[in-house]
Every structure is written in C-alpha cells, then in structure tokens.
A and B are shown apart, each in its own frame.
Chain A
Amino acid sequence: MRLKVTILTALSLALGVAASGAFAQEPLKVCAAEDEMPYSNKKGEGFENKLAQLVGEELGRKVEFVTWTDPRFYLRDYLDKGLCDVSIGMDTGDPRVLTTRPYYRSGYVFITRQNDNLDLQNWDSEVLRKVERIAYVPGSPAEVMMRAIGRYNDMFNYEQELVGYKSRRNQYVKYENAKLVSEVASGRAEVAVLWGPASARYVKESATPLKVTVIPDNNTRADGEKVGFHYSTSMGVRNGEEALLAQLNQVIEKRQHDIRQILEAEGIPLLPEPEPALAMKKQD
C-alpha cells in the first residue's frame, strides 16, 4: 500500500502535476455521451455517470466528463485520441480497447403490458407472430431474430417511423429507449425488445404496469450460429493503458457492493456471470 502511493506520487511529479492538497491527482477523464439515456447525459443523470463518480471517488480523482454526441465514433475520435481515458460501459472483451473484469451481466428483454398477459418466453413464442407491432432497435441481436421469425419486413415501416424516417445514410440515427418503452405503455406496440439496462428505468417509471421477460440466451440463426442475448459489461481503456486498467479492476472488486446498488436502483435485471467468465463473442 505504501509502495503504491509512492509510485503514484512519483508518477504525478514526473507528469509535472503539482502534488499538493486535494488536487494531487489529475482529474479522471471519462468518455461520456452528451445524450444517450439512460447511460449518460450532460446533466449527469445517467447510471453510468453515477458509476463514474463512484470510480473517481475510489481513485481519489475528480471526474471530468468529456462528452461526445455520436456513439459510432466516440472511441475513434475521443478515447483513441486521448481526449478521455475511460469508457464506463462496454461489452467485455471488445477488441477495440482493453476491458476490465465484468462488473455486471444482463440480457435483452421483452417488454409487454402486464394486463395483456401475453405468453411470451422466447423468440419461438407464438405471440410474436401474432402481435401487430414489435418495437426494437435495428442492428441489435433483435433484428437477427426478427428476420428469423419473419417479422422484419412487415415491421420495417414501423421501425423507420420510430425515428421519424431518418435515413441511416450519412447520419447517426438514435432509437430513444424511453420512446420504445412508451410505445408499449401507450398501446402503440404490444412488445418492445430492448437491452435490459437500456430500458430498466423507463419500465420502472411507466404509469402503465409493464412486464419484463429476460430473453433466454439459447437463440440461433438459420445457419446454427448463436445469437447472443446476454452480455457482460466492463469498463474500457485505451490499448496499452495497463496501469489504469489495473486500478479500475481494483475499484470494481472493492466497490462491488456499491456498484450493485446503483444497478439495482436503476432496475437492471442482473444475471450471474457464467463460469469461467466468457469473453464476448463477436456477433456478426
């Protein structure tokens, strides 16, 4: 412990940082979305904003959010360029970065109205063939299964309508998690398929009681390839930043309980980590 402090002080000095008082450390630059709720926004209302504060607190470093607007390029344009140093939520094993040990695992969920009592367990449920509208995010594993069950084409227009008919050519088109949940709450759609952590807050806030069913992780494409619906989440740092990675791993281990509290408060369905912890399998 003593040794570590010494090393860190030496590092700070080497970097020319004034090693005095509360600002003995440089601020922790966290790559955060300006508006990608419920993960993060400018006001710090996202659950990943809270997780970042917890990390900063544990490291004794003030958190500085460096905000980006286009999630397609934030690693390339921010993390890789050194504008920020930590991404709070990434798939475990994402090859573009170094990822920490997973700090939670969750799944995609079916969201329905409680009153509808739909018999919906998995993608092979008859209900999905019958309902009028299914709200989902294209490019997610849900799209693969929408094709597999033959609902992709007849939901195409609806899928475009959800984003006001914005073309995905030459621009980032955001599917608002809150909107997709409200489609079900309002009765516009019978089912929404979303990443559990992305929808948890809105399901909880909904005036219409909603039911959440975690999608089992046993789905496959026509060619037998697995379509993953459960993912482990890690924090990510730039390749080569081994020291920071080690620190984050320590934070995750030490503050496990507090992290879990934040996630549970958010309403995120938490799944046990498989043993041994599986590396993320690339989906394509």
Chain B
Amino acid sequence: MRISKIARHVGTTTALVSGILLAVSQTAQANKELDQMSRQNTNWVMQTKDYSATHYSELYDINITNVKNLKVAWSFSTGVLNGHEGGPLVVDGIMYVHTPYPNNVFAIDLNDPGKILWEYKPKQNPAARAVACCDVVNRGLAYAPQGKNYPATIFLSQLDGHIVALNAKTGEMLWKMENSDIAMGSTLTVAPFVAEDKVIVGTSGAELGVRGYATAYDIKDGKQAWRVYATGPDEDIKLSKDFNKANPHYGQFGLGLKTWEGDAWKIGGGTNWGWYAYDPDLRMLYYGSGNPAPWNETMRPGDNKWTMTIWGRDIDTGEAKFGYQKTPHDEWDYAGVNYMGLSEQMVNGKMTKLLTHPDRNGLVYTLNRENGDLVNAFKIDNTVNWVKHVDLKTGLPVRDPEYSTHMDHEAKGICPSAMGYHNQGIESYDPTKQLFFMGVNHICMDWEPFMLPYRAGQFFVGATLNMYPGPKGTLGQVKAMNSVTGEFEWEVQEKFAVWGGTMATAGDLVFYGTLDGYIKALNSKTGEELWKFKLPSGVIGHPITYKHDGKQYVAIYYGVGGWPGVGLVFDLKDPTAGLGAVGAFKELAHYTQMGGGVMVFSL
C-alpha cells in the first residue's frame, strides 16, 4: 500500500480550521441557520450531525472520567420490529423519531418524554416491501429550519418511493412527491439531505436495473430543481464544462455511454442510498454512486461509468465538477454509497479541504474536495485481498485475479464480502485528534457463479454467495485512523459488526452500537472500553448526543435487521439466504432478537 508521507501539524490545524469555519458562515446563504444549528451542540439537526459529517459533538459533560455512570434516562418503543437504521434528530426541545417501513414519524417533547407531540403514519403501497432487497430499513429524517416561504420542515423518505415534507411543529403534510417508482424496482431508504434551499434525495434498487439518480427538490413546494444520473449521456449525468479538469486521467466526457455495451447504461444501476456531505463555502455536494447492474459482471463489459463514483457537484445546478470512479467494472457488489467525511488537514505542508470515504471495497480514499485530487488510498484492513493497492498516479486499483468473480471462476475467500468492510454506518471525525473512528465489517465470502442447463436450451444463470467471518475470526472491528497518513491509532475487535457507525465527543469518547445490542463508549485516544449497556435488540443505527435543560444525553435506536439481520427478520435458515448474510450472522439469533425503539442515556 502506497501512503503519502505527510507531516501532521496538529498545532496549526486547529487555528486554520476555525478560520475556514468562519469563512463558511459568511458565505453560506439560504441554510445558514441549519449550518449554525448544527454547530450548537445542544441540537442534533442532521443525520450526519453537520455538513462535514463529522458526527462529532463538542459536548464534554459526559467524558472519560464519568461515562461509567451513564444510566438510562428514558426510552420509547416505536412499535415496529424491523431494522432501525439512522438516528433520531433533536431540534429545540423536540426529538424526531422515525421507523423502518411503514415509516412512521414521532415528535417527542423533551420536556416530557412520556408524551408524543404528534405522529405521522403514512399509508403506503405494501408492494414496496417485496421490492426492498435487504429488510425494509430507512436511514432517517432531515430537518430544515423555517424559511421565507415555508415553516420548519421535517423530510421523510418512504419505502414506496415518495418524499414527504411535514410541518415540524404539527406533523401536517406540506407536500409529497414521487421520487422512485416501485413498479420499476426502485425504493427509497436514503435519508434526505437539506442544503441551501433544496432537499436532496437518492434512489435504491441498483440490483434490479434501476438507473440511479440524485434529485434536488425545492424545500418550499417539492418542485424538482435538478436530477442527475450516474450513467448515460453527459447531459443526463450533468457534467460541467471543466469536469475532471484537474484529473483528466479519471476520465472526462462521453464515458457514461462509451463504457457500456450498447444501451446497457439504461439499466446500469449506480443508485445512491448512502450519505451526503456539503461544503457551503465551495457550494459543493458530495456523495457516492453505487454498484452497476446487473450484478453478473459478464453481462456488462466495460468500466461501467459512472457507477462506483465519488461525486463533487455544484449545489445550485447539480453539475459535477469532479467524479472519481473507485471500482471500475465492479464484480463484487461493492456499492460505493458510503460515508463522506469532510476535514481540513495538512497535506504536503498545505492546509487542504479533504473528503474521506471508507468504501465497501475495503479501501479508504481521501480526496482534495475542491478538485478531486486523490490524496491517499489505503486498505482499511490488511486482510483486503481483491486489490493489491491503488496506483495513486492513475487512480486505478491493481487487482488480484484470484479473487475475481468471472463466470468460469470459483473464487474462495474474497475479502471483503459483498457486504463490504464498510457498509452504511455514519462515522465520526474528531478534528482535535485528526482521527476518524470507523466501524468496520470483517466478513469475507466465496462466490460461486453457476450456469446450469435446464431444458429446451434454457439455462439457470446465477451465483451462490457464502459469507463468513474474516481471518481474524470476528465479524467486526472499530478503528481509529488518520486519513492523510493512513496510520491506525488503535483498533478493537467486535464479535459482531458495528453496522451503524460511530459518534465522537470532546469528552474523549467514541460511542457505537453493536449488532448483538450493546451500546459502548470507548476512550477515543486509546480504544479502551469504558462503558457498555445491553439494549433490548441489536443496533444498526448510529448514536447521537444533545443537551436539554443543561444536561447532556446520548440516544441510540435499537432494532436489529438490515442486511446483516435479514436472517432474524425473515426467519431464514439457509446459510446462503439473504444474499449470503444468513451464514455470516447465524450466531446472532443466540444473542438478540427483533425490537424497535430509542434509548436515551444521561449521567
């Protein structure tokens, strides 16, 4: 693994970061208020905590000295048993709680957490349940403070493909738009993301041949501002005139068509159901497009651009300034929609605006988020084997053919598995330590393609995936790393995966939930476990923290499910069922069962 040798100037960094933050507040226009609220650590107004997706709170009332005294303050059952991804939002004394399908929303009064202020229970086409691949999850709500011509608004994605705007004070529906058509295999599980006067929504269903897109809607009325595709003609993908000008070797124009055979780009996948980040100073939005379709790679020769791509787009027009494809011609389902964490760090002696992305393919990429320069790419774990290293000059992964999934090749022990070493968890970045805290999967797989004759010249074409714990014997790890140097500060093993991600605080703590149902607090300097509590069900969401009436709280959803929990949710026994997840997680049923709710802790 090639790692750029870069000096860490911790002292100067903090000062410079503050300088950049100041500049940001001055230039941001429409959602200056949301940006500011996200910095008030009393609230937690976005799934990602703030536009940089630091998932880091400056609160330190709960810290390494007293975290051992953390106790349950109150709890709330959502009444839904499927996997609870994402986290609650807290805005000015109200907690907003969402559920997986049927996607109910509850507003809870923090002055009297025993009371539901309002609830929203959408009527949805139940057919949506059958279309969702991996449990009926939802990654959370978004909030927009009151604007000139709209009230404070809560945004909800529904599994049946609709995006709904609700009055944050009353729960009354303000508008509803169809974003995805379940009749076309497209569902919605992504958390909406508010930036400027827009709310951004993605798509799910790449595996079913959905041509992925991201859409911006006007907050006030849901009118479509722009829609950008991952594949097809440049005008659909919306490439700016100077697209990838700084890195022409990433590829520039016409490739959304040229890297596909015929018009296969029309069913090419590249949906985005992960997380967004935003730089109000650059007015740029960041996200990843997912895997190409169909999953059988022999059916789609070519690089399949622009699936598996980190995008940097202009928020006003949607136009892409840069696009970096991490896994050209994916063969493993390494959907690249994961966490995008923004930081400002020293690179070659210069304070640089960075974007760090732990990909499902087992590599951590750090880019200059102004122009897309690849600063660093390294393995999140030394057991990653499909790739030898990333050539930083070309940006291309150097593959090991042994772990290819070609039709005529049975690959054993591919790491990571199709679930990735990093899936949908939101991670955290502590700017004072310049450390990212990563919940890492440790799951590998065998991939056996088959093409079996039946009769009358018909063949059954498919693949059998078998997933199991990686070489270290566990299913998960938590790691603290510096994204610029590629150095790991510490790592701890987890018996089961840390599917939902981490939250860090100025109390030198990192919190996370485990699939078997623990919420844990570690010393963020050392990785030492300081506190844990067993929740009623396993965790696939992320912790948050807020302050109410002068007291700091930590909250987390419990409710096992999602892809790792499909075996539990749907009572599957065959180890290859649930796209191979059942085998990997068959132990889980001995540790936790289904549930659904939020648990809140305080000292």
Chain A interface residues (CB < 8 Å from chain B): 71-73, 89-91, 94, 96, 106, 108, 137-141, 150, 153-154, 156-157, 160-161, 164-165, 167-173, 195, 197-198, 228-229, 231, 233, 282-284
Contact = CB atoms under 8 A, between A and B. Distances in A.
**5 closest cross-chain pairs (CB), A and B:** A168-B462, A140-B458, A283-B457, A156-B209, A156-B267
Interface string B263-304: 110110000000000000000000000000011000000000
Given A72-B450, A90-B455, A231-B456, A138 B184 contact: no
24 contacts: A71-B454, A71-B460, A90-B455, A91-B456, A94-B453, A96-B453, A108-B456, A139-B459, A140-B457, A141-B457, A150-B263, A156-B209, A156-B294, A157-B210, A160-B185, A161-B183, A165-B130, A167-B207, A168-B462, A195-B455, A195-B456, A198-B456, A231-B456, A284-B459
Given A72-B450, A137-B458, A139-B461, A157 B576 contact: no
Given A170-B576, A170-B577, A157 B208 contact: yes
B579 A169 contact: yes
A175 to B, nearest CB: 10
A170 B457 contact: no
Nearest to A280: B457
Given A106-B456, A282-B453, 11 more contacts: A71-B454, A139-B461, A141-B457, A153-B262, A157-B185, A160-B185, A167-B133, A169-B295, A170-B462, A170-B465, A198-B456
B15 interface: no
A195 B458 contact: yes
Interface string B452-491: 1111111111111100000000000000000000000000
Contacts of B209: 156-157, 160
Nearest to A232: B456
Contacts of A160: 185, 208-209
Contacts of A164: 130-131
B460 A72 contact: yes
B416 interface: no
B419 to A, nearest CB: 13
A231 B455 contact: yes
A214 to B, nearest CB: 13
A93 to B, nearest CB: 11
B580 interface: yes
B398 to A, nearest CB: 27
Contacts of B131: 164-165
Interface in B164-203: 183-185
A129 to B, nearest CB: 14
B463 to A, nearest CB: 5
Contacts of A138: 461
A124 B452 CA distance: 28
Contacts of A168: 460-462
Contacts of B463: 169-170
A268 to B, nearest CB: 12
A128 to B, nearest CB: 16
Interface of B: 130-131, 133, 183-185, 205, 207-210, 262-264, 266-267, 294-295, 450, 452-465, 576-580
A167 B463 CA distance: 10
B74 to A, nearest CB: 40
A153 B269 CA distance: 12
A90 B264 CA distance: 33
Contact of B465 (A161, A169, A172, A284): A169
A116 B450 CA distance: 39
A106 B455 CA distance: 12
A171 B577 contact: yes
A140 B264 contact: no
A157 B262 CA distance: 17
Nearest to B458: A140
Given A72-B452, A157-B208, A160-B185, A91 B457 contact: yes
Contacts of B208: 157, 160, 165, 167
A171 B209 CA distance: 18
A152 to B, nearest CB: 8
Nearest to B130: A164
Nearest to B418: A169
Contacts of A173: 462
A231 B457 contact: yes
A153 B461 CA distance: 17
Contacts of B295: 167, 169
Contacts of B576: 170-171
Given A89-B455, A108-B456, A169 B266 contact: no
Contacts of A284: 459
Nearest to B294: A156
B447 to A, nearest CB: 9
A91 B262 CA distance: 33
A73 B264 CA distance: 31
A139 to B, nearest CB: 5
A153 B579 contact: no
B455 A91 contact: yes
Nearest to A107: B456
Contacts of B130: 164-165
Contacts of A197: 456
A94 B459 CA distance: 12
Contacts of A94: 453
A150 B454 CA distance: 25
A59 B130 CA distance: 47
Contacts of A108: 456
A284 B264 CA distance: 20
Contact of B185 (A71, A153, A161, A282): A161
B315 to A, nearest CB: 31
A140 B456 contact: yes
A252 to B, nearest CB: 17
Contacts of A150: 262-263
A140 B461 CA distance: 10
Given A167-B579, A170-B576, A157 B184 contact: yes
Given A153-B263, A228-B457, A165 B185 contact: yes
Among A138, A165, A172, A228, max chain B CB count under 10 A is at A165
A284 B458 CA distance: 10
B207 to A, nearest CB: 6
- Which of A90, A141, A160, A167 is most buried by chain B, counting CB atoms within 10 A of its CB? A160
